[in-house]
Amino acid sequence: MNPLRFTRRNLLRGSLAATAAFPLLEARKVQGQTGAPTRLVVMSTPNGTRNALFWPTGSGANITLNTFCKSLEPYKSKLTFLKGITLNPQLQNGSLGGNLGSEHARGTGGMLTGRPLNAGTDFISFGNTTSGWGSGQSIDQYLVDKLMPQTAFPSFQVGVHVRDTQVRARIAYKASNQPIPPREDPKDVFNALFGGMTGGGMMGGGATDPALARLWAQRKSVFDLTLAESDRLKKLVGSDDRVKLQAHQDAMRDVETRLVGMVTTGDPDGNPTPATGSCMVPTIGNTDLKVDDQYAQAGQMQMDMAAAALACDMTRILTFQWSYSESEHLFQFLNNIQGNHHAISHDFASSGTNYDAYNAIQTWYAQQFAYFLGKLDSYQEGDGTLLDNCIVLWATEIGESTQHDLTQMPYVFAGSAGGKIKPAGVIDYTASGGKKKDNNQMLVSMAHAMGDESLTTFGDPSGQTGPLTGLT
């Protein structure tokens, strides 16, 4: 994939040539800010791991990467394997004395919320267990509210072959029962970020095209009408429905700025002045989203664009989701594996076809993560790279896959959040008889990395408080 240097001519040559208007790249609001912003990125891959082949050997910064993670070698100095993190007691069990959702569901809904799923029978047919949707806000959305990043997209959700729309397919929540769907179509992501009409930050400035200016004005008029009508309706409905109307208004405000061309431009002539020296528009090809064999292609396009969105400061908070948890994705393209991922993940033989297949799939996912880190690391920002200015979490919904384990989560941090985090290779919280940390604490650490250092607890109160230790 050859990233194009972003120029007006290249864009005109590209897939957008059919669109009428091409206002020029605007300066992002990051202009004038000293230093690059810190970004939060979460990448989730499904179906757990195999501890014996995942965790590095050695200690501290002096680690040797294990079988699954060899591909991360180039970024080893920027990684922290967080060993000894358990999901909090409520996520383990729930106060109902039963399992609120299968482990796959809980590990998904609780990954970024730190909360158990809602009680209910919404997912009676899911993993033989009962649960509702996620019961609270996820850390990414909390940080959107807290930090109010003035980017074209307050947050951005990307998916690859997620397809499913049940609780096992949603990691980001605006609030209880308000899951946020990811964008799964690379064309849609491209248009959102770089398309002229949708006003993704790249194209938002430069009111030089009268047709576009006119469209923006009309949109503004409609937004005003709609928001006012919602205000009127909020007085007529009950409190719970008011929450829904409010969510609609919040969502409209989230998108209004860029859709009406109000993302401010630092350059009245609309000349390109990217946030960083290397902000580029990636190219995308075609992919058939229904074909499992095209997983890698779709994923690579999405990763390229996700990295570009961060590099161009179009968003600072991004979640990236591969398939859904409990994924039955096929990997015939990889060593001609015939079984589905989830079935393979629960075969507890210690050798043989499925053993090899699972290892191959987990290794492949680590390679995708490595590719993404490589993308982030390829963007220079000041003395460092975009990756250095990120706090990246690589997560999956369960631990040891054959056990549906939730007590040894295979979480990895990458990047140093602009210096707020010191990558430590591996931190083993249970070394020397230490107590396990709860996943809430990891979420608190992520908030601290993003600059919300006053936060002490996040998610369900059953979890321990304070951030993880050893990261700063």
Partner 1 sequence: MRRTWAVLKSTVILSLLAGCSSDVGHDGSGANTGGSGNGANAGSSGSSGAVSNGGKGGTSGASGSSGNGTSGSSGSSGSSGSSGSSGSAGSNPVMSAPPDCKTDQVAHTALRRLTRFEYAQTVKDLLKVDPTPSDDIPADEVTSGYDNNSSVLTISSLHAEKYVLVSETLAKAAVQNLAAIDGCNTAMGEDACAKQFAQKFGRRAYRRPLTDAEVQNLMTAYTAGRTDGSYAEGIEVMIRAALQSPDFLFRLETTAPTNANATLVPLSQFELATRLSYLIWATGPDDALLDAAQAGSLGSKDAIAQKAREMLADPKAKLALANFFGQWSGTNRLSITTKNTTLFPSFTAAMQTAMEAEVPAFLDYVFSGDHSFKTLLTAPVAFVSGPLGQLYVPGSPMGGATPTKMDLPATQGRAGILTMAGFMSVQGHPDQTSPVLRGKFVRAMMLCDPPPPPPDDVNITLPTIDQGATARERFSKHESAGASCKGCHTLMDPIGLAFENFDAVGSFRTMDNGQPIDVTGEVTDSDDPALQGGFNGVAEMAQKLAASQTVSDCMATQWFRFASGRLELEQDSCSLGNIRRSFADSNGDLVELVVAMTQSDDFWYRAPLTP
Return the DSSP state at 18. G
Q: Is 53 in the site for partner 1 (CB under 8 A)?
A: no
User: Which residues inside 58-87 make contact with partner 1, applying CB under 8 A?
Assistant: none
Q: Is 125 in the site for partner 1 (CB under 8 A)?
A: yes
Q: How far is the CB of 191 from partner 1 (least distance, A)?
A: 9
> Which of 10, 93, 380, 472: binder of partner 1 (CB under 8 A)?
93
Beta bridge pairs of residue 237:
none
User: Which residues inside 159-188 make contact with partner 1, applying CB under 8 A?
Assistant: 163-166, 170, 173-181, 183, 188
Query: For the stretch 280-294, what's the b/e string if a residue is b when 16 or more beta carbons lie within 10 angstroms of its beta carbon?
Result: bbbbbeebebeebee
Q: Which helix (H) or strand (E) holds 246?
A: helix 239-259
User: Which residues inside 410-439 make contact with partner 1, applying CB under 8 A?
Assistant: none
Euclidean distance between CA atoms 331 and 207, whole angstroms: 47
Structure tokens at 247: 């969510």
> Which of 21, 53, 207, 247: binder of partner 1 (CB under 8 A)?
247
Q: Is 19 in the site for partner 1 (CB under 8 A)?
A: no
Q: Pick the closest to residue 264 from 106, 29, 94 (CA basis).
A: 29
Q: How far is the CB of 354 from partner 1 (least distance, A)?
A: 8
Q: Is 15 in the site for partner 1 (CB under 8 A)?
A: no
Q: Is 219 in the site for partner 1 (CB under 8 A)?
A: yes
CA distances from 407 to 103, 175, 397 (A): 11, 25, 11
> Which of 87, 192, 280, 373: binder of partner 1 (CB under 8 A)?
192
Q: What is the largest CA-CA distance in the chain?
A: 68
Q: Is 334 in the site for partner 1 (CB under 8 A)?
A: no
> Which of 66, 108, 157, 321: binder of partner 1 (CB under 8 A)?
157
Q: Considering just the CA atoms, what is the radius of gyration of the chain in Å? A: 22
* 247 class by beta-carbon count within 10 Å (0-12 exposed, 13-18 middle, 19+ buried): middle
Question: Judged by CB under 8 A, how many residues of this single chain contact partner 1?
Answer: 116
CB-wise, 153 or 365, nearer to partner 1? 153
Q: How far is the CB of 379 from partner 1 (least distance, A)?
A: 25
Euclidean distance between CA atoms 249 and 465, whole angstroms: 33
> Which of 244, 382, 422, 453: binder of partner 1 (CB under 8 A)?
244
CB-wise, 144 or 370, nearer to partner 1? 144
Q: How far is the CB of 443 from partner 1 (least distance, A)?
A: 10
Ramachandran class of 35: left when φ > 0, alpha when ψ lies in -120 to 50, beta otherwise: left
User: Which residues inside 350-379 make contact with partner 1, applying CB under 8 A?
Assistant: 352
Structure tokens at 381: 């920002």
Q: Is 269 in the site for partner 1 (CB under 8 A)?
A: no
